[in-house]
Structure 1
Amino acid sequence: MKNAYPISKKLFDIFALFTREPFVQFYTKELEFYSNGNGVLLGLISMDLIDGDYYTCILSRDSSRQYRAESVEGNIPTIEQARSWIDTKMGSDAITYHENVEYFDVFKGRTSEKQTHPNYKLLKESESFSSAREVIKEVSYHYKDIDGNFIDQFQSINGFDARVWELYLFCFFREQYFSFERNHEAPDYLVEKFGPKIAIEAVIVSRKTALSKVLEHKSSEEIQEALSNDVPLMYGSALFSKVKKEYWKRDHVQNMPFVIAIADFHDDFSMTWSFGALSEYLYGYKYSSSFDDDGKLLIEPVQVEGYKKRNGTIVPSGFFFQPGSENVSAVIFSSCATLSKFNRIGKQAGLGSGNVELIRTISYHDHDPNASEPALLSYKVCEASDESWSEGIIIYHNPNANILLNPDLFDERVAQAFFQNGFIKSVMPEVFPYSSSTLNLIVKE
């Protein structure tokens, strides 16, 4: 082939995640992926799962820089003929190239230097985050700015973390084969999968400490003290801020599950250690562990009554058991939805600078029934890595919800938690990180 060059599925998925409609998975199987060498054109060979023949497609960018089908051919008898079609079409003058386009540019300078988030500066300028930069560009081409202020907030000190979380959720739900209906300002997303719809409102635990150039780790004593009271209160404040808005009463949200998606950005590295405080706050229990004489792990539930604010007010534990929360079908959480997630996804697809080396360390769920601690793993992120957008998501289902969220709408890559008789029953994927950190290294020969 002289005009078409093979590329990985991971790279094609970044370009075409929002181009392909979710339903195509049921009648075609994607086999091979191509580029014309500079990414202006993409090629795809698929097998028709009904007839067993092949489909081919050439995609080019439209005026919004989204990849769209430019030329499609079906009923091709052999894959060799399909490859020949791709190669010929990629060299054809009949293919449309879109130039001088106008598109949604999240890196267009708008926010003043003083109000710009330092992590946005890293994303825009640093070689270390070049992979994330390329991924976020591709994702943003498909993002519909309902509020009209996304770019300003994405760049700003007060809005950057929240907007990164929203972009991550955009990728997660699409990877889970949901379609988006974005005709309303609130809640943030209405998604649909072959009929059933879900309303999602995104929220974060916002920054509580000053931003500084030197990131600081808390001591284990400081972490335990924060987990015992302050962090559950932070989660509670963020969640109830959304409950008060009563999104479920809006006409376009009627009779569907309403879900709050929350992430923790309250301090440096807080998302790496605050995981357990959320489940404790949602269900009102924490758990002690011990081993019997045979080495079997024993779990004992301990009910948590509440938490004390600085003014002395007691806030009850057990969000799902408080008045008003019956309108919340579930809470979605991830400890991994940071810039580093976008960076790793891009790196494993071959995007970004070749001078950057990413070393990821995760504490992840140990499936040994007698394991009382997470397992640990460090690895170099490369094109053989296979991290998904879904990895790290956990869905906490509300046992008292007026409208239950159907767990079958999500695949086996997603962790799901259910509460019964004082215990949290979890369905865990093969790999579920409780926390994740990534070391960025510049390696130049």
Structure 2
Amino acid sequence: MADGTGAVEIHAISKRRFDAYVVWARGVGPLPPITEVEWLEVKPAKVLATVFVDLTDRDLNSAVLAPDLAGKYRAVETLQSHTNIPDAVNGTAESMVRVLKNYNNARTQGDEKPSADFFAKVVKESKLHTRFKYLRDSPSAVAAKRLIEIAMRWYDNQDGSYVEQFQTTGFDPRVWELYLWAMLREAGYRVEQPKPAPDFLARGILGDFYIEATTANPPPPNLVVPLPETAEAIHDYIHNYLPTRFSGPLWAKLQKRYWEREGVQDIPFVIAVQDFHQDLSMTWSQSALFEYLYGVRIEEVESDGKVQKVEVPVTDLEWGDKRLPSGFFKLPDSEHISAVAFNAAGTLTKFNRIGIAAGMGEPNVTARHEGRRFANDNTGVEEEFSQVVSEDYEEDWIDGLTVFHNPNALRPLPFEALPGAAHVFEEDGLHRQFFPAGHLVTSTTTLTVKNGSGPTTSVAAH
């Protein structure tokens, strides 16, 4: 598609690529009810556009966007009441050409403010986190870096310490926060970042809720527990050790008593926890979190020649000299916690996959994502998968997220608040689970870098 002279090429692109640049732009307040149907680009992302249906009056409209002088993609022209989609695409393309020809003036908003630069070094090189340096410097992380560079222009440095922690001791927790922010925006929420806390206030058509992020972090070097290798060691690790890693951060958040703050007591409050205490430990984290939250363990019992799964109460957690109460949702004051959310896939590697799928990677870097998902036919069967990550690859930010609902919550979180997530809940005294088709269970990603005529290097990560 061109402007008649062939000077400007306008490409149809995927919603995935469009959102990689634009999903961050949602501010505060409820989102307008629209459905996007087409997405366009003047490469490389100089001008973007979308054609959408306004669900209020069924009008076919479009919006043209370009990066303002601070690098934030914002609307520069809005076109209304197109007759049909082909006319909408042609009219929008003409608008994109006009914007490009008057580019600097068209994209100037007049209220630009500098945003935080996550990669502007604020400490000595020796203090930088190894994974931050990997993100900053490694060819295999280029897609994640480019995606984060776009997102960071919209992210509020809420407590003034985000960049310093992102580069040093708080790298993993800050990536987890950034993941949650991305997930909420993709889910259609406008997201506020209250000061000083909780981390996020998600505002949507179906209601509002708070999310506070926390992480299970590495213990002191002398207390690191090696990853188990035998079946007996894995059982001990999952059922006795891992729950103790979740008890600390969740208990600490409970002691903050966020529900006593103005406004927080009125709507659901969710704690989102991630496990970074050891590389690859999150392979088993979700089942351990289930046990700690509900104070029950799922065991297989044979009766009359049949194997059945039964719930066994777990009153206390014991590991070494530690003895802690199990059943977080049974603790005093826990009724103020509506749910706990977890996603083993909410890591830097997810940013890389989504960045590659949005066309932000380099041609010499390939990624293969493999693991287990629930079948797409809603049978509830887990299936192995192996996919090359390309621009045809599909993955949502919410993919892999599980929400554990508190049966005693004073303000329950509706399932519809996060419909793309898996949900664990209590019904008739038993714990049940709902998994959307294709829900990600566990996975790893192998990134391969081809260095011209030199050696090929591969990196595996969650």
- TM-score normalised to structure 2 length: 0.87
Measured against aligned partners, the alpha-carbon deviations of 1:37-93 in whole angstroms (never above 9, x if no partner) come to 221211222234566553222111123321111011111223333233233223323
Q: Where does residue 318 of structure 1 map in the other structure?
A: 327
Letter in 2 for 1:317: S
Q: Where does residue 356 of structure 2 map in the other structure?
A: 347
Alignment partners' CA distance in 2, 1:349 and 1:326: 41
Are residues 1:299 and 2:309 paired? yes
Alignment partners' CA distance in 2, 1:343 and 1:106: 16
1:29 to 35, 59, 84: 35
Q: 1:220 to 1:203 in 2, by over 3 A?
A: farther
- Per mean C-alpha deviation after superposition, the further-off stretch among 242-251 and 353-362 is 353-362
Are residues 1:124 and 2:136 paired? yes
Determine if contact 1:301/1:422 at 8 Å carries over to the other structure. Answer: no
Alignment partners' CA distance in 2, 1:355 and 1:149: 35
Determine if contact 2:159/2:195 at 8 Å carries over to the other structure. Answer: no
Determine if contact 1:33/1:45 at 8 Å carries over to the other structure. Answer: yes
Instruction: Please give the secondary structure, in 2, of the residue aligned with 1:251.
Output: coil
Are residues 1:138 and 2:150 paired? yes
Q: 1:47 to 1:201 in 2, by over 3 A?
A: closer
Q: CA deviation at 1:229?
A: 1.5
Are residues 1:338 and 2:354 paired? no
Measured against aligned partners, the alpha-carbon deviations of 1:372-405 in whole angstroms (never above 9, x if no partner) come to x843222211122111011111111111122222
Alignment partners' CA distance in 2, 1:387 and 1:367: 14
Q: Where does residue 460 of structure 2 map in the other structure?
A: none
1:432 to 421, 435, 439: 439
Determine if contact 2:378/2:437 at 8 Å carries over to the other structure. Answer: no
1:11 to 7, 10, 17: 17
Alignment partners' CA distance in 2, 1:265 and 1:254: 30
Measured against aligned partners, the alpha-carbon deviations of 1:304-361 in whole angstroms (never above 9, x if no partner) come to 12112543x5212111111121221110111101111111111111111111111112
Q: 1:378 to 1:400 in 2, by over 3 A?
A: same
Equivalent residues in 2 for 1:68-217 (5 A)? 68-92=74-98, 93-95=101-103, 96-97=106-107, 102-156=114-168, 158-194=169-205, 196-208=207-219
What's the C-alpha RMSD, in Å, of the aligned pairs?
Answer: 2.7
Aligned length: 435
Alignment partners' CA distance in 1, 2:355 and 2:376: 29
- Per mean C-alpha deviation after superposition, the further-off stretch among 45-54 and 344-353 is 45-54
State the percentage of identical aligned residues: 31
Instruction: Please give the secondary structure, in 2, of the residue aligned with 1:204.
Output: strand
Measured against aligned partners, the alpha-carbon deviations of 1:91-150 in whole angstroms (never above 9, x if no partner) come to 323442459984321111112222211111111111101111111112211111110111
Q: 1:374 to 1:303 in 2, by over 3 A?
A: farther
Instruction: Please give the secondary structure, in 1, of the residue aligned with 2:250.
Output: helix
Alignment partners' CA distance in 1, 2:32 and 2:198: 28
1:381 to 367, 386, 389: 389
Letter in 1 for 2:318: K
- TM-score normalised to structure 1 length: 0.90
Q: Where does residue 419 of structure 1 map in the other structure?
A: 426
Q: 1:422 to 1:48 in 2, by over 3 A?
A: closer
Q: Where does residue 397 of structure 1 map in the other structure?
A: 405
Determine if contact 2:295/2:326 at 8 Å carries over to the other structure. Answer: yes
Letter in 2 for 1:201: E
Measured against aligned partners, the alpha-carbon deviations of 1:12-43 in whole angstroms (never above 9, x if no partner) come to 011111225796663x3312212222212112
Structure 2: runs of 5+ lacking an equivalent: 3-7, 453-462
Letter in 2 for 1:424: H
- Per mean C-alpha deviation after superposition, the further-off stretch among 285-294 and 433-442 is 285-294
Determine if contact 1:65/1:103 at 8 Å carries over to the other structure. Answer: no
Instruction: Please give the secondary structure, in 2, of the residue aligned with 1:391.
Output: coil
Letter in 2 for 1:358: A
Alignment partners' CA distance in 2, 1:354 and 1:217: 35
Are residues 1:232 and 2:243 paired? yes
Determine if contact 1:134/1:346 at 8 Å carries over to the other structure. Answer: yes
